Structure 1
Amino acid sequence: MTSTTAPTRQAARLALTPNTAMAGLLDGAWWPYSRDLATELLPLVEALRDRFGRVTRITANPAPWPVALRKVPVGGYAVHVGWFTDQAPDTMILLTYSLGRCDLLVIPPETEPSSAARLMAAASAPGNVHTTGTLMSEEHETGRLLREAGAREDAWETDGGASPQPGPHPHPVVGARMIYLPEGMWRRPR
């Protein structure tokens, strides 16, 4: 016998800045499960309703979304979509009926969970001053450094431990404030 129950809709993966006086460039971040805006928009606007009101329009860059709909049904009404190629591809602006707007970093659905968590935390920090482009490029660099560090650690394990390094190995002085750099060097902050 076949079940006729409707599939369970997933809650929006959303991180919003706290309600504080410290306004930033972004109101938070959204990590959709897919690039199907018709499926993803309903849980997002429902999650934003209590804080921002009824979302009536959004603006986005069409590059990340394979189907560029002009209207997306969300329950009993439709959200109008404006597509702008000059808007950052990782930005979505949601306009509400009464309370203004909500600017979100849109994290690509295929993003690794650890990377998405860092992006969501950065975009939802009170008083954040980073654009979506800056956050994405910084996360790309962080991911690259973490992958390189992992590769060095894997090489360490498979090669039997430490390889000889030329020159002295500086070590932190107990009680002195030091910064560890990814290349294995220590330095005092300026």
Structure 2
Amino acid sequence: MTSGPHTVTAPAAEEHALRLRLKPKGPTTGYVDGAWWPRSADLVGELPELFAVLAVRLGRIERVTFHLGDFSEPPRRIVYDGERVRLEGFRAQRPGTVTVIGASDRHRVTLLTVPSDTDPDVAHDVQMTAAHRDNTDTVETLRDRLK
């Protein structure tokens, strides 16, 4: 990973919607809190839109963890909304997941990441399944549905 913070900004009004589905707030069930379908493997380029939505649930974003093989090599830190956010890749993290952690109370959201080149109908179905309130499928089961 490269070092040094990179500044990213909240997105302006876009012509495309963020491809994210979250379970409703409430007691957590299952292995993921929803699913995210980024448009590319450029994690730094994709995070501002994701942060803009997740900040409503998590407050200030402090950290993002991901599987090292899932994204292009990002820097260790970025600056978002004037605050430093740590980006930490781990080989031990389940492939196909991203965890976004808030600064207050360390609340977190773990998302299944749908590869950017996934067929739109398949991606939509998997996102809806992952975000269903009672879904308890494992990450592996959800990823198998992407094939």
Q: TM-score range by the shorter chain?
A: 0.7 to 0.9
- Does structure 2 retain, via aligned residues, the 8 Å contact 1:42–1:75? no
Query: Residue 78 of structure 1 aligns to which amino acid in structure 2?
Result: R
TM-fit CA distance, 1:54: 1.6
So what's the TM-score if we normalise by structure 2?
Answer: 0.82
Distance in 1 between residues matched to 2:118 and 2:146, nearest whole Å: 11
Structure of greater Rg = 1
Distance in 2 between residues matched to 1:138 and 1:115, nearest whole Å: 8
* 1:124-163 equivalent positions in 2, closer than 5 A: 124-140=131-147
User: CA 1:22–1:95 in structure 2 vs 1: closer, same or farther (change >3 Å)?
Assistant: closer
SS of the residue aligned with 1:139? coil
So what's the TM-score if we normalise by structure 1?
Answer: 0.65
Query: Residue 130 of structure 1 aligns to which amino acid in structure 2?
Result: D
User: CA 1:76–1:116 in structure 2 vs 1: closer, same or farther (change >3 Å)?
Assistant: same
Task: List runs of 5+ in structure 1 lacking aligned partners.
Answer: 1-6, 141-190
1:114 matched residue in structure 2: 121
Name the % identity.
33
Does structure 1 residue 32 correspond to structure 2 residue 38?
yes
User: CA 1:115–1:58 in structure 2 vs 1: closer, same or farther (change >3 Å)?
Assistant: same
Query: Residue 113 of structure 1 aligns to which amino acid in structure 2?
Result: P
TM-fit CA distance, 1:103: 0.7
2:79 matched residue in structure 1: 73
Distance in 1 between residues matched to 2:41 and 2:79, nearest whole Å: 16
TM-fit CA distance, 1:105: 0.3
Aligned length: 135
Whose helix proportion is higher, 1 or 2? Answer: 1
Query: Residue 126 of structure 2 aligns to which amino acid in structure 1?
Result: L
Segment of structure 1 superposing worse, 105-114 or 22-31:
22-31
Correspondence for 2:130 among 114, 123, 126? 123
Distance in 1 between residues matched to 2:45 and 2:13, nearest whole Å: 12
TM-fit CA distance, 1:12: 2.4
Distance in 2 between residues matched to 1:8 and 1:18, nearest whole Å: 24
Query: Residue 121 of structure 1 aligns to which amino acid in structure 2?
Result: M
1:14 matched residue in structure 2: 20
TM-fit CA distance, 1:139: 3.3
SS of the residue aligned with 1:89? coil
Task: List runs of 5+ in structure 2 lacking aligned partners.
Answer: 1-11
Distance in 1 between residues matched to 2:46 and 2:38, nearest whole Å: 6
Whose strand proportion is higher, 1 or 2? Answer: 2
